[in-house]
Chain A
Amino acid sequence: MTDPGPVAVQGSTGAGPPPERSVVVVLPAALRDEADGRSTVTVSVPTAPAGAAAVTVGNVLDALAAAHPRLERRLRDERGTLRRHVNVFVAGDDCRALLGQDTPVPDGAEVVVLPNIAGG
């Protein structure tokens, strides 16, 4: 499939329109059908979600979920837990080795989703 290229997705903004920041999420080939064939999705995430000091991996995944519920189910279970063999890298670092879904996403950092090695 030809990659249609990045698309901007509006994140949930809650009450009032807080300032937002765009974050690029890179998807593995196996998940592109769940995102209209795109290899990257650009999400808009509030920069100051309630009670949070920075944009986090969880905020990015929430914004992704709002636009692509099927993609969300592939990445996280119904409890919101990142699936065991799904890895999310922030600026090259595995978020599990940092703060998990609370890992901050710095300005300009790319979020990359990759499947871990699994199965036999």
Chain B
Amino acid sequence: MTLVLAIGTRKGLFLARSADGAAWKVEGPQFLMQEVAAVGFVAAPGGGGAPRLLAGVRSEHWGPGVSHSDDLGETWAEAEAGSVVFPDDTETALERVWQLQGDPARPGVVWAGCEPTSLWRSDDAGETFSLVRGLWDHPHRPWAPGFGGAAVHTVVTDPQDDGRVLVAMSSGGVYVTRDGGGTWLPSNKGISAYFLPDPYPEYGQCVHKVAADAAGPAVLYAQNHHGVYRSDDAGATWTSIADGLPSDFGFVMLAHPQRSGTVWVLPLEADGRRVPPGGRLRLHRTRDGGRTWSEVGTDLPDGSWTSVLRDAADVVGTGDDAAPLLTFGTRDGCVWASTDEGTTFVEVATHLPDILSVRAAVVA
């Protein structure tokens, strides 16, 4: 068993490998001088073997695209006519791929969240994507851009219901389809948008990340632009679970892949102070669905004035419920990994470029 991290940075892709989660070997960069804002491990076409690795790559000169590798980054390919290409009638050009999310229950299906705000579906394991028209043609569009741009950045699928998909966008908030993408309804009741005249609008929230509970997406957790929430009704309503955290601001939301109720956030001080509270770079973990929180990460640094972006963190199962592979990367180029649910960490890499995306995989 090999633990693999794909680390997308402002200046290329790095790969880290470990047999035990303690000693890591880092290789790269690939796509040097190109921004890798999204990475994803998805089921290999045809099943079996190593997962396919996807990278949303963007060159300042030569534009954006999605590349795929079936040998864990040894070689890469990209669709001849482009992977994510806006249809002519949209009169729109792709700016950046923000999210590449496989659908574990449906091998071959990959979702891409992109800028400008759009959702795309691939049925060939991420080689080519089709625009999800139901969201693109939504009467609420255009949604206002957040600081980093206007994009769909989160896709949560339902293993029991392939018609049900949840997306989150900044700004815009959470939207849910029950018919596979044809129609979408906002799903933000209870989530604050303190920066708008109506602090609880139907939509327009700046939801930073949503994760599904291990028991399934009927229970969801959201890190908002100020606010940490839980939904027990698949996103229909949200209630705050921020009590006990040093701050309700941050970008990361991770849910344990096997243990229901276990979730991690990585608080930053505030919208106007995007650094770890007091310089203490720490995660906070709940084991009871957000009723109580504990600071974890005894090996993480003090005096850290960096931050962690929404997709620069991941957690995957390793077969041992008590030892998922939990990882995150910072804007000052450090990558950390834990195999004891975040209690302790090892430093995987330092001095990389600004880290934009991290995804983990366990490869046989």
Contacts and interface: CB of A to CB of B under 8 A. Distances in A.
B198 interface: no
Contacts of A2: none
Interface string A41-83: 0000000000000000000000000000110011101110101
A86 B93 contact: no
Contacts of B92: 78-79
B273 interface: no
Contacts of A81: 93
B1 interface: no
Interface residues of A, number: 18
Interface in A72-111: 73-75, 77-79, 81, 83, 85-86
Given A69-B80, A70-B80, A119-B33, A78 B86 contact: yes
Contacts of A86: 61-62
A69 B61 contact: no
Interface in B33-78: 33, 59-63, 65, 78
Given A78-B93, A79-B92, A79-B93, A73 B82 contact: yes
B220 to A, nearest CB: 34
A119 B60 contact: yes
B330 to A, nearest CB: 18
A69 B80 CA distance: 7
Contacts of A118: 60-61
A115 interface: yes
A86 B82 CA distance: 18
A30 interface: yes
Contact of B61 (A77, A78, A79, A116): A116
A30 B61 contact: yes
A31 interface: yes
B91 interface: yes
B148 to A, nearest CB: 16
Contacts of B91: 79
A74 B85 CA distance: 13
A85 B60 contact: yes
A70 B77 CA distance: 12
B334 interface: no
Contacts of B94: 77-78
Nearest to B88: A78
B94 to A, nearest CB: 7
Nearest to A70: B80
A75 B62 CA distance: 6
A97 to B, nearest CB: 19
Interface of A: 30-31, 69-70, 73-75, 77-79, 81, 83, 85-86, 115-116, 118-119
Interface of B: 33, 59-63, 65, 78, 80-82, 85-86, 88, 91-94
19 contacts: A69-B80, A69-B81, A69-B82, A70-B78, A73-B63, A73-B81, A73-B82, A74-B61, A75-B62, A77-B93, A77-B94, A79-B92, A83-B62, A86-B61, A86-B62, A116-B61, A118-B60, A119-B33, A119-B60
